[in-house]
A and B are shown apart, each in its own frame.
Chain A
Amino acid sequence: MIQVRQVSYRYDGGKAPALKNVTMEIREGEHVALIGPNGCGKTTLIKHFNALLAPGEGSVEVDGMDTRDRKSRGEIRRRVGMVFQNPDNQIVGVTVEEDVAFGPSNLGLPPAAIRERVDEALALVGMESFAQRAPHTLSGGEKRLVSIAGILAMDPRYIALDEPAAYLDPSSRDRVLAMIERLHRRGIAIIHITHDMNDLAGADRLLVMDRGAILLDGTPRDVFGRVEAMKDLGLHVPQVTLLMRRLRESGLDLKTDILTVDEACREIAKRIGSNGNGALSGSGPGGGA
């Protein structure tokens, strides 16, 4: 478990604190999505998880180890992997396999064990045929997968990803998101920073941050139910959720805590099925979205 207790943090020369009295925890195997406007402290928060930043006030503990304790830093960084926003600046190897080997090399593993981990990690992200390629010849999505493999080779328990799907074309994006979901199913806790509300379908929990504080914390359904709060923050609610809300406002008895088009279809079909066609005949022009 990662426990963040009353953490405040201020960058050198920063006027406003980047984090204000944040208390939260990440449980093992959880899939947490972290959203919020730019500059709200999301990245600052996840940098506290693996001791890249030490809290100014308060404390951060990873599986009981304090991140300010220098001796446990190595182990904390092994347990909490971090995938940064720009894959170009975190791939350090001359070839893909050497990059994946960077972490295990730092752990001081013998070459045979490193080889095993590298092969396993590359197979897990489906990049084994790229092992000998130079990083700059890869596409954006491939670079993302390589940087994830580099983290997986450390055998982490938690992985924090900073906008892993940003700047990707739709098919690469799906590939990366499916990868994240697969890691989650293997029991690795995922902390996923995103701006795209459509990336959230797999998350168990949603944290909304603004100006260095956590405003909302709950299941995605809970949080998106609070459309007004979200709007105040300038965050979008998924379009289907808005559609369902409008339909409800126009007098239909529909659930509004719906996040995907499939769910919406099912919900509407259910209404049609139970009440006959009459239930939807009153919707009028209100449903045109």
Chain B
Amino acid sequence: METGLFPVPVRGGARKMPGPGQWIAGESIVQRMDPRVKIASTVALSLFTFRAGWADACLISLLLLAVMRAARLEFARMLRVVRPLAWFAGLFFLLHLFFTDGTALWSLPALHIRITREGLFQGALVAWQFAALVLCGAVLSMTTTPSDLIGGLEKLMSPLKHLKVPTQELAVMAAMALRFVPAMRDEFDRIQTAQAARGADLEGGDLWGRAKAALSVAIPLMISAFRRADELAEAMEARGYHRGPRTALRELRLDGKDFAAMGFMMIFTAVLAISRLFVQP
């Protein structure tokens, strides 16, 4: 569907499919929305999720489904994002299921085990909260480029400048970290291969052997990171980097759809508040 957006590599470095939760190239309305609106909405939605009751849970789920649909994120793809955390969600579900007081649905008095109605509901709600939080974050990170995320965060935090928080420097640091994570991963692979080529046993062995093997990769990796940092600092300086104000390639500007989204979020918040008044005692 969007294959045209993937530039064909000239040679080498074949473009990998984005992993679960990683940004996907696309042109949907959610993708084009201002990152600040998306970040703020995600934060708001996460807070609502934490405090959600049953009615809220239904409304939030509907909203999430609608956003996923608007962002053209397929269900299967989202399932892959949630799956790694299914264990935790399951564990919490079971804990609540077995350890909540209330009306018993089923019990085994000999082993002091019993399942209550409250436990069932509570567990299901907690599992849902888990999934909803992960999905919130995933929708944000899958529809927003890393640089937009950083740019948006920088802008949202800019009031903190008055408290002498160096928001621009923090943004540059975050961008550097993002840039060099894949580079460090490649470096890790290279060092591991180099050590293995010289006969280091990186796989087997007892706990002590494994710890030594890990160290034999970690120390060169750290040294290389320091050297990299030195060269990077020099290159940044050579390109005129300095503390203090700088400008950005992409100017964030709110337009119609962003205001519409903000308005929608406000209405949604109001609906949640009202439903709380009426539905829950």
Contact = CB atoms under 8 A, between A and B. Distances in A.
Interface of A: 50, 52, 74, 77-78, 81-82, 84, 86, 88-95, 97-98, 101-111, 114-115, 118, 129-130, 132-139, 142, 150-151, 154
Contacts of A50: 238
Contacts of A136: 13, 182-183, 186
B10 A142 contact: yes
Contacts of A114: 247-249
B246 A105 contact: yes
B245 to A, nearest CB: 7
Contact of A92 (B13, B145, B175, B248): B175
Given A90-B231, A94-B178, 13 more contacts: A77-B238, A84-B235, A86-B231, A90-B232, A94-B175, A101-B249, A106-B239, A108-B245, A108-B246, A118-B249, A135-B179, A136-B182, A137-B13
A226 to B, nearest CB: 34
14 contacts: A78-B240, A84-B231, A88-B228, A89-B231, A90-B231, A92-B179, A92-B232, A92-B239, A94-B150, A103-B239, A104-B247, A106-B246, A138-B13, A139-B12
Contacts of B11: 139
Contacts of A82: 235, 238
A132 B4 CA distance: 13
Contacts of A110: 247
B10 A89 contact: no
> Which of B186, B240, B251 lies at the interface centre, i.e. has the most chain A CB atoms within 10 A of its CB?
B240
B250 interface: yes
Interface of B: 5, 7, 9-13, 15-16, 25, 145-147, 150, 175-176, 178-179, 182-183, 186, 228, 231-232, 234-242, 245-251
Nearest to A108: B247
Given A52-B234, A90-B231, A105-B248, A77 B183 contact: no
A90 B249 contact: no
A101 B239 CA distance: 10
B2 to A, nearest CB: 12
Nearest to A138: B13
A107 B150 CA distance: 20
A105 B234 contact: no
A109 B247 contact: yes
B12 A106 contact: no
A137 B15 contact: yes
Nearest to A75: B240
Contacts of B237: 52, 77
Contacts of B241: 102, 106
Contact of B147 (A91, A94, A118, A142): A94
Given A84-B234, A94-B178, A105 B249 contact: yes
B239 A77 contact: yes
A236 to B, nearest CB: 28
Given A107-B240, A115-B249, A92 B176 contact: yes
A102 B232 CA distance: 13
A74 B232 CA distance: 18
| B5, B186, B231 pick with most chain A CB within 10 angstroms | B231
A114 B249 CA distance: 6
A1 to B, nearest CB: 20
Contacts of B175: 92-94, 98
Contact of A150 (B145, B182, B234, B239): B239
A139 B236 contact: no
Contacts of B179: 91-94, 135
A135 B235 CA distance: 15
Given A107-B240, A111-B249, A95 B145 contact: yes
B149 to A, nearest CB: 10
Name, among A52, A93, A101, A105, the residue most crowded by chain B CB atoms within 10 Å (CB to CB): A105
A224 to B, nearest CB: 32
A139 B234 contact: no
B7 A132 contact: yes
Given A93-B179, A107-B240, A133 B235 contact: no
A102 B239 contact: yes
Given A90-B235, A106-B246, A150-B239, A132 B25 contact: yes
